[in-house]
Amino acid sequence: MKKNKKNEVSKFTKLNRRDLIIGASSIGAFSLAPKKLLSEEVNPENLPPNLPEWTQYLGDGVDVNPYGMPSEFEGHVIRRNVEWLTASAESSVNFTPLQDLEGIVTPNGLCFERHHGGVSVINPQDFRLIINGLVDREMIFTLDDLKRFPQTNKFYFLECAANGGMEWRGSQLNGCQFTFGMVHNVQYTGVKLSDLILETGLKEKAKWVLAEGSDSSGMTRSIPIEKILDDCIIAWAMNGEALRPEQGYPARLVVPGWEGNMWVKWIRRLEFGDKPYMTREETSKYTDLLTSGKARMFTWVMDAKSVITSPSPEKPILSKGLHQLRGLAWSGRGKIKRVDVSIDGGKNWKTAQLHSPVLSKSLTRFTLPFEWNGEELLLQSRAIDETNYVQPTIGELQKIRGVNSIYHNNSIATWLVSKNGKVDNVRLG
């Protein structure tokens, strides 16, 4: 198998650029390895003092790609799933390739997906949002109606409560993407629910809102009225363009800092009531089972967390000398105040540099320069948020919650850097 692949690559390096594009696409967009190897292969004929081949002919004109796509050499930067996790792709999850991203914005096409009944296809003309229950006026809105309300534009992270859920008992998945990738961070454009409610009025008894999606799972969650009035949004755009279908096009609920399951996509209805609705998602799922056999319910906030995105299992260290350690930190309780990094498994820590903007309930980028001379390292990062909450170790979490919680594992991960520069997800104890 490996031998064949090598032959393929050497054949490809002999082709000119035009052939290469055709060749790469004929291998198929779904076969990543050849593309990846191509981008790592050096062609000395393109290096100085030679004239690179692309300098000697005209490139593509405008409109060859009316909607621009990443370079063909970035074909490995994609969402990936873990097939054995779920019974069907329509009720499943994939993961954001955090290890390949910079800054704090997640490109729209790389935001992880979590569906319970597949991606709904909705003509925005057919979109309606009904607000009913304990309001003064039960109302129905078109998308155009929503866009005529005062607008808000905010960056927020969205993290699935089960992010890292496979790591409760031990290190299981050997990748930054698979252990931390159920999170993304985009700028949302939409209308604040506190403004929408000015239109419907609110009865005094209204304490809870049932948010309901129009997809084939009819996703539903109960949200307390205080949160709804505080900072929830009905959003129709992300990162400057319409929501992607897989993120709820044409409109979704945004519940800043709270678990992703509550951010109902393809939203169709908000019902105001005096009690929680106890939907399937908030009783049988998204409850955190303790060793006693009792389960915590309504655990909405995402506690502070951080991850080193490079070096990581997907990003080995390739040479000795100076490197920039990169990572992301976030908290559902506000801004990130500080991130510490350890290279010796948590014995000694150094404070990393936070890069602006540092926003509330948003991913925050950190970096730390380090010299590598071929020694073994145990890399860890530890986030502290503005409430002084310190990201815990897995041991601290297990002591209180056991190992059957599934949800809300925000513990510190450890990456072992071996002497050959390879990086492994390991558990210390």
Partner 1 sequence: MERLTMSGSVRCILSFSLIIFLTNTSIASDRKFNLGQIATKEEIAGWDIDVRPDGLGAPIGSGTALFGEEIYTEQCAACHGDFGEGADRWPPLVGGEGSLASHDPEKTTTSYWPYASTIYDYIYRAMPYGAAQSLSYDETYGIVAYLLYMGDIIEEDFVLSNKNIGYIEMPNKDGFLLPDPRPDIMNTQGNPCMSNCQVSTKIIGKARDIDVTPEDE
Alpha helices by DSSP H, listed for 14-111, are: 17-27, 32-40
Is 237 among the residues that bind partner 1 (CB under 8 A)? Answer: no
Shortest CB 128 distance to partner 1, Å: 8
CB atoms within 10 A of CB 324: 10
Strand bridging mode 92-95 / 305-310:
unpaired
**156, 254 contact by CB (below 8 A):** yes
- Buried/exposed code over 89-113 (b: 16+ C-beta within 10 A; e: otherwise): eeebbbbbbbbbbeebbbebebbbb
Residue selected from 46, 283, 324, 353 as contacting partner 1 according to rule CB under 8 A: 283
Tell me if residue 24 falls in helix, strand or coil: helix
Q: Does 419 bind partner 1 (CB under 8 A)?
A: no
> Using CB under 8 A, which residues numbered 352 to 381 contact partner 1?
378
- Which segment (10-18, 105-113, 128-136, 153-161) binds partner 1 by CB under 8 A? 128-136
Amino acid at 316: P
Nearest alpha-carbon partner for 295 in 169, 408, 137: 408
* Residue pointed to by tokens 């500080």: 338
**Which residues are CB-neighbours of 363 under 8 A, at least 6 positions away?**
104, 106, 157, 183, 185, 328, 329, 330
Among 6, 11, 18, 148, binds partner 1 (CB under 8 A): 148
Angle 331-335-338 (CA atoms, 0-180°, nearest 5)?
Answer: 90
Task: Between 53 and 338, name the residue whose CB sits nearer to partner 1.
Answer: 338
Position 136 contacts partner 1 (CB under 8 A): yes
Beta carbon nearer to partner 1, 41 or 396: 396
Q: Indicate whether 138 belongs to the interface with partner 1 (CB under 8 A).
A: yes
Restricting to residues 284-303, name those near partner 1 by CB under 8 A.
284, 287, 289-301, 303
Interface with partner 1 (CB under 8 A), residue total: 105
Nearer to partner 1, 76 or 315 (CB): 76
- Residue ranges in 189-218 that form contacts with partner 1 under rule CB under 8 A: 195, 198-199, 201, 210, 212, 216-218
Q: Structure tokens of 97?
A: 């390739």
27 touches partner 1 (CB under 8 A): no
Instruction: Tell which positions 380-409 bind partner 1, by CB under 8 A.
Output: 382, 384, 387-390, 392-393, 396-397, 400-401, 404, 408
CB of 62 to partner 1, least distance (A): 33
Stretch touching partner 1 by CB under 8 A, among 19-27, 55-63, 259-267, 277-285:
277-285
* The token pair that represents 112 in the structure block: 């992880």
